[in-house]
Chain A
Amino acid sequence: MIRIFLRQLPFIKNAAIIALSLVVGALALTGPANAQRNEAAESFVNKLASEAIEILGRESLSPVDREAAFRMLFVGNMDVPRIGAFALGQYVRTPTSEQKVEYLRLVEDFIVKVYATRLSDYTNQVFNILSSQPKGNRGTEIIVTSQIEFKTGRAPVPVEWWLLRDGDSFKVFDVKVVGIWMAQEQRSSFISVIRNNNGDFNALLTHIEERIGEKADEINSKLTDAETAGG
């Protein structure tokens, strides 16, 4: 018995080598797809999204505190200056230093409010990371794909995150919800306002200021509604 086994050993060895090379080959084929996924980026998004959804749905906080908590989380993790610059298109060269400072302050406020309004529809839902892939070949940008699943059985909402490497961590440049990149949408509006006011940058600042004022009221009433509905 043992002798037969020994006699067949070379064959078994060959078979093993063939099997091993097949496995290696298969790994090499699937390898790139897996290697393209970025675990650090995925866990960054998972943490950020879960915290954002948790904060917006936290009922123990007053609406004002809730927005403050969301802002803290948001501003620390978003690349606001880059979003602001992107939203201006070629007009990025036109504001004076004072206008730039004012613009950055307003745009941060504005974006926080836009995101808080749109994300507050998704509180108390299940968030899942699906995949990630690099953008460009510098290795500095990553697109993370995720979805929000509904307990009601409604079709899940796809959400994509455009990340930029920032030291050991990441910053979010843009988020795509149901096919819409938010920064792209802002850019379209911002450029349109400046152009339709003959390049007057102050017109944009005024428009943003007006919207922030209105939205502050709206967000407060929305969060209060959620509170009364929840409590």
Chain B
Amino acid sequence: MKNESGKGFIRIGVAGISLALLLAGCATRPDAGDTAATAAYEEANDPIEPLNRYFFEVNNFLDIIILRPTAEIYDGVLPRFAKNGIRNFLDNLRSPVIIANDLLQGQWDRAGTTTSRFGINTTVGLLGLGDPATGWGYQRHGEDFGQTLAVYGVGEGPYFYAPLLGPAPPRDLVGFGVDTFFDPITYIFWDDAYTVPVTRFVLNGIDLRARNLTTLDEIERTSIDYYAAIRSLYRQSRSDEILNGVTDVDALPDISNINLSSDF
């Protein structure tokens, strides 16, 4: 019964999103004669920008009424060691997914690091609540299937901002789905409502939000277009993650000949 209504809900959701897509339509491609606008359109690579902005606003609204207040309470009420314990625990739960992707990318050393971390933190770290592995020289790193696809040469695709999930262009959306299959937590459930995975998703969201209370405020206040800034931040931090933090100097734009003053 529960399952039935769940499926019905998903169906209504899908129908709603398709309707919204139809209604909002796509961003109008600028006139080919307008070279600056065309270049801007292509650089943004955001063909459904109006819809994305709508979802962005929805998420901001949900953030204001639910997520942010919850995160503030979480941040204010829990002592630091409890918050760190929760973060460590959630990070540790993610280890199988990271190991799978380390291996798929052929990063044997990094897979070894993650495996050691998982072993140490699950035992010495008391089921992952502590993180003694970092002190022993096993630094944490993240990995996901979106990054694995990128390593295999799959492009990010046009920008998509999903309700609840946030920025999720096709490659990373697929990655999110595949990682769910890699994740043992997905297969642990006590009832039809998937209590464990859902709780983990919600708690992870609250903890992440609590850790970025000031950072996100700062970004909002220091940007002229918050939506476009987040789009750029998402893409940049993804490519930084894909390259494991190493700057690819050759991929940087050529700025040697640009200037504003010569046309005066």
Contact = CB atoms under 8 A, between A and B. Distances in A.
Interface residues of B, number: 42
A208 B229 CA distance: 14
Contact of B224 (A92, A141, A184, A204): A204
Contact of A180 (B237, B249, B252): B237
Interface in A196-211: 196, 199, 204, 207-208, 211
Interface stretch (A1-9, A48-56, A59-67, A82-90): A82-90
A185 interface: yes
Nearest to B261: A81
A136 B229 contact: no
B44 A199 contact: no
B192 interface: no
Interface stretch (B69-77, B161-169, B171-179, B240-248): B240-248
A114 B224 CA distance: 11
B258 interface: yes
Contact of B258 (A92, A94, A208): A92
A228 to B, nearest CB: 17
Interface in B226-264: 227-229, 231-233, 236-237, 239-241, 245, 247, 249, 252-256, 258-261, 263-264
Interface of B: 30, 34-37, 39-41, 43-44, 139, 218, 221-225, 227-229, 231-233, 236-237, 239-241, 245, 247, 249, 252-256, 258-261, 263-264
Contacts of A90: 35-36, 39-40
A211 B39 contact: no
A183 B221 CA distance: 16
B239 to A, nearest CB: 8
Given A178-B237, A211-B224, 14 more contacts: A81-B259, A86-B255, A91-B40, A93-B36, A117-B218, A179-B237, A180-B236, A186-B224, A189-B229, A195-B40, A195-B44, A196-B225, A211-B221, A218-B221
A192 B256 contact: no
B254 A195 contact: no
B241 A179 contact: yes
A86 B258 contact: yes
A133 B249 contact: yes
A94 B36 contact: yes
B222 A114 contact: yes
Interface in A156-201: 158, 160, 162, 164, 173, 176, 178-181, 184-196, 199
Contacts of B225: 188-189, 192-193, 196, 207
B231 to A, nearest CB: 6
A82 B30 CA distance: 27
12 contacts: A82-B255, A90-B36, A114-B222, A117-B221, A158-B245, A162-B252, A176-B247, A180-B240, A185-B233, A191-B40, A191-B44, A193-B225
Given A180-B236, A191-B43, A91 B258 contact: no
Interface residues of A, number: 61
A14 B259 CA distance: 59
Contacts of B231: 188
B264 to A, nearest CB: 6
B228 A214 contact: no
Given A97-B264, A117-B222, A181 B236 contact: yes
A213 to B, nearest CB: 12
A81 B232 contact: no
A171 B176 CA distance: 41
A58 interface: no
A125 B263 CA distance: 42
A113 interface: yes
Interface string A126-154: 00000001111010110101000000000
A37 interface: no
Closest A-B pairs by Cβ, 3 of them = A179-B240, A188-B232, A192-B228
A176 B43 CA distance: 20
Contacts of A85: 258-260
B146 to A, nearest CB: 15
A190 B224 contact: yes
